[in-house]
């Protein structure tokens, strides 16, 4: 057996375990309040602001940051960039857990979560963009489950079933890219329905394109960021291939992220020009828009380019972190900060501390599951019984 095939002994009462346990216990208490007292017991949502931090952060940011799964799988399986093969399994795992936590968080936001299947079973709303988003996310979560299942099947030794799933890799990858293209862009399309509520600097008929292109940058950056944290915390679980591929992935994905961010910046400027919204740049919202575009799009793009040119992995990693912050800021701007911008301050939404607590709880559950999986399953190393069969 490989030295990587068994879980590493870690202290039960480590700082992480203690903090995570406290957060989970607190989150379970908030969950009890939510499902016994309703939305009003834990949130500041109302008729003017029906979507809060659970949609803005847990869903929109979660879906964007989980895009590393389809971007990495497409690069390796469709475009033949086999040198990045070591990044596929960690990226698929991050994507699978990201989408799972999105679905989990959605249960808190929906007033009657047990009715989530209704649009698919009782009253299909096939003309609704939200129906398309829900259908694509559900199907893509299934695809991610199947794409990641060979890892679990290797862990339990199910050779025959693993062989069947592996043969479907290309088909699953193509289907996953198609579904991701649809729902990443459709998340932006949802806000085409509210032109009077979203500030003109963020509203554009090209919102679907903006969301899709920025999700690619988010996915590439998340692979770099997740890989950096994994190398720091799970270095002992990585085999020689993963250790040697780390720098190659950082440089290659950094190059791709720089190009995508440059294109994203260009189409955002194009969107302002098409809408003739230049005059809004002289307002307070315009200053905030410049902070987002210059500080979290143009600057990371420049840092990515410098890091790749100088082959400086540290600069690329900081650029990836800045890009992730920029994606989070953009999604929160669209759904919260710059939404209902014309309402008086007292009518604007600000999340209840319990809402924030539930979001922290959801993220913590995802991190705990990630740690459990990578310390036990062959994510960062090849299983000794399945070497060279990936």
pLDDT at 199 > cutoff 70? yes
| pLDDT band, residue 10 (cuts 50/70/90) | low
**Where does the pLDDT of residue 3 fall: very low under 50, low under 70, confident under 90, or very high at 90 and above?**
very low
Residue 127: what pLDDT? 73
The per-residue pLDDT for 243 is 87
- Tell me how crowded residue 80 is: count the other CB atoms within 10 A of its CB: 8
Q: Kindly report, residue by residue over 39-98, the tens digit of the pLDDT.
A: 999 999 888 888 899 999 999 999 999 999 999 999 999 999 999 999 999 999 999 999
Instruction: Indicate if the pLDDT at residue 100 is higher than 50.
Output: yes
Q: Of 11-20, 60-69, 287-296, 324-333, which gets the smallest average pLDDT?
A: 11-20
Q: ∠ CA(249), CA(217), CA(340), 5° rounding? A: 155
Instruction: Output the CA torsion sign for 191, 192, 194, 200.
Output: positive
Any bridge partners for residue 339, and if so which? 198
| Close Cβ partners of 363 (under 8 Å, ≥ 6 residues apart) | 101
User: Domain 15-374 has what CATH class?
Assistant: mainly alpha
Alpha carbons 23 and 195: distance in angstroms, whole number? 38
From the list 131, 181, 100, 115, the residue with the least C-alpha distance to 367 is: 100
Region for 45 from its dihedrals, namely left if φ exceeds 0, alpha if ψ lies in -120 to 50, beta otherwise: beta
Measured between alpha carbons, how far is 281 from 219 in angstroms, rounded to an integer?
A: 29
Query: Which of 13-27, 233-247, 290-304 has the highest mean predicted lDDT (pLDDT)?
Result: 290-304
């Amino acid at each position: 057996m490989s030295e990587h095939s068994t879980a590493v002994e870690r202290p039960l009462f480590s700082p992480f375990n203690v903090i995570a346990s406290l957060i989970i216990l607190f989150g379970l208490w908030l969950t009890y309040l939510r499902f016994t007292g309703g939305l009003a017991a834990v949130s500041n949502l109302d008729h003017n602001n029906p979507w809060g931090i659970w949609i803005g952060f847990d869903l929109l940011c979660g879906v964007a940051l989980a895009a590393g799964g389809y971007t990495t799988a497409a690069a390796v399986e469709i475009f033949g960039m086999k040198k990045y093969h070591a990044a596929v399994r960690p990226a698929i795992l991050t994507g699978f857990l990201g989408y799972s936590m999105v679905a989990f968080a959605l249960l808190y936001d929906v007033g009657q979560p047990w009715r989530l299947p209704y649009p698919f079973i009782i009253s299909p709303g096939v003309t609704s963009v939200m129906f398309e988003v829900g259908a694509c996310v559900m199907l893509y979560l299934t695809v991610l489950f199947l794409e990641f299942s060979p890892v679990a099947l290797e862990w339990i030794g199910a050779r025959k079933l693993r062989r069947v799933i592996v043969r479907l890799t290309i088909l699953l990858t193509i289907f996953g890219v198609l579904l991701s293209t649809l729902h990443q862009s459709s998340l932006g399309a949802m806000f085409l329905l509210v032109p009077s509520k979203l500030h003109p600097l963020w509203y554009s008929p090209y919102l679907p394109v903006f969301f899709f292109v920025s999700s690619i940058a988010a996915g590439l950056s998340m692979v770099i960021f997740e890989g950096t944290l994994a190398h720091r915390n799970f270095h002992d679980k990585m085999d020689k291939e993963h250790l040697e591929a780390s720098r190659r992935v950082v440089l290659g994905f950094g190059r791709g992220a720089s190009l995508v961010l440059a294109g994203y910046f260009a189409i955002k400027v194009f969107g302002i020009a098409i809408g003739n919204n230049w005059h809004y740049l002289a307002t307070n919202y315009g200053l905030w828009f410049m902070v987002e575009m210059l500080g979290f799009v143009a600057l990371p793009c420049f840092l990515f380019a410098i890091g790749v040119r100088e082959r400086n992995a540290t600069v690329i990693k900081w650029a990836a972190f800045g890009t992730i912050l920029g994606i989070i800021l953009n999604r929160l701007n669209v759904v919260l900060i710059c939404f209902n911008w014309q309402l008086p301050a007292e009518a604007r939404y600000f999340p209840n501390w319990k809402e924030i607590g539930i979001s922290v709880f959801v993220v913590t559950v995802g991190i705990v599951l990630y740690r459990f999986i990578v310390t036990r399953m062959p994510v960062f190393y090849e299983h000794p019984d399945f070497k060279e069969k990936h």
